[in-house]
């Protein structure tokens, strides 16, 4: 036991336990815990501008700020440059104070801040200055009007890469491309023939309208479509033909 006591003295001057508030060090964790009570009732007037954590001493705040030294959470909305402190960002923003990079697409007014542009756009949100010369429909953005004008246009900008047929709208071209597609998701339930368009399948089904290939195994009644046979079989589901 005496040897253990002597050995313990070796570690007496080692202080591995550091206070996270004031950086004071202790050789035993129990002493650190006791010390922390000193800070428990202190008022914390010093706030971190990055994460809002509070500290009772400015020196502790300064030490804490080193944690964020490589973090750059504050980004300039003009040039995307990042800063570790909001105060540095605010100083930097003065560089852009006379620059107006954000232009309103409606009235061409320019702004130095994106937030101001967004406010301006709200002013125009209910305004519709761009009128279609064909049908008088109005739009709030010129780009929307240009898209709309394609409806009235005789110009056909969308060309089928297979047969060179032209279309005025991309949606019409996409529908047309199904004609050339190898995908035929619409299958005839009678003969299993497949079609690329539902309308073609419907036209084909007329061929089978008078044919009745599906026979009921119970009463021998025939049907032109399997779905009709399945519906009919429900009639027999509760019948009991075999008597004990």
Q: Under a CB-based contact definition with an 8 Å cutoff, are residues 222 and 214 in contact? A: yes
Cα distances (angstroms) measured from residue 96 to each of 83, 90, 99, 121, 146: 15, 11, 5, 21, 34
Rounded to whole angstroms, the Cα distance separating 28 from 17 reads: 7
Instruction: Please give the average per-residue pLDDT across 73-96, as a whole number.
Output: 80
Spatial distance between the Cα atoms of 130 and 146, rounded to a whole number of angstroms: 9
| pLDDT, tens digit, 9 for 90 and up, residues 10-66 | 555 677 888 877 778 888 888 888 877 777 666 677 888 878 888 877 878 887 877
Q: How confident is the model at residue 4 (pLDDT cuts 50, 70, 90)?
A: low
Q: What is the pLDDT of residue 13?
A: 64
Q: Are 223 and 235 spatial neighbours (Cβ–Cβ below 8 Å)? A: no
pLDDT, one tens digit per residue, over 95-125 is: 777 777 788 887 888 887 778 888 888 777 7
201/212 Cα distance (integer angstroms): 18
DSSP character for 132?
-
Domain spans of the chain? 102-152, 158-208
The overall average pLDDT reported for the chain is 78
pTM passes above 0.95: no
CATH code for the structural domain at 158-208? 3.30.160.60
Strand 74-75 and strand 82-83: pairing? antiparallel
Give residue 242's pLDDT: 58
> Which helix (DSSP H) or strand (DSSP E) does residue 18 occupy?
strand 17-18
CA dist., res. 29 & res. 13, Å (int): 14
Q: What is the DSSP letter of 85?
A: S
CATH assignment of 102-152, among 3.40.190.10, 3.30.160.60, 3.40.50.10490, 3.40.50.150: 3.30.160.60
Average pLDDT over residues 131-144: 80
Which range has the worst mean pLDDT, 10-19, 123-132, 139-148?
Answer: 10-19
244 against 200, higher pLDDT: 200
Average confidence (pLDDT) over 78-92: 81
Q: Is the pLDDT of residue 91 over 60?
A: yes
Range among 56-60, 168-172, 229-233 rated most confident: 229-233
């Amino acid at each position: 036991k005496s040897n253990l006591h002597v050995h313990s003295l070796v570690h007496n001057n080692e202080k591995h336990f550091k206070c996270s508030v004031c950086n004071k060090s202790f050789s035993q964790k129990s002493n650190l815990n006791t010390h922390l009570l000193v800070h428990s009732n202190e008022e914390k007037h010093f706030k971190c501008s990055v994460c809002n954590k509070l500290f009772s001493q400015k020196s502790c705040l300064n030490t804490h700020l080193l944690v964020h030294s490589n973090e750059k959470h504050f980004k300039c909305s003009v040039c995307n440059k990042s800063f570790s402190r909001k105060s540095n960002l605010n100083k930097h923003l003065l560089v852009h104070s006379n620059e107006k990079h954000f232009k309103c697409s409606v009235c061409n007014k320019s702004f130095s801040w994106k937030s101001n542009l967004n406010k301006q756009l709200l002013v125009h949100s209910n305004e519709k200055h761009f009128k279609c010369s064909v049908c008088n429909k109005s739009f709030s953005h010129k780009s929307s009007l240009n898209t709309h004008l394609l409806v009235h246009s005789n110009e056909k900008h969308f060309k089928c890469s297979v047969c060179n047929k032209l279309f005025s709208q991309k949606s019409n071209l996409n529908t047309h491309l199904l004609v050339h597609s190898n995908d035929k998701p619409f299958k005839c339930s009678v003969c299993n023939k497949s079609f690329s368009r539902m309308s073609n399948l419907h036209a084909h089904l007329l061929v089978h309208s008078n044919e009745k290939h599906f026979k009921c195994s119970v009463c021998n009644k025939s049907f032109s479509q399997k779905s009709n046979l399945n519906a009919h079989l429900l009639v027999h589901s509760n019948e009991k033909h075999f008597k004990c």
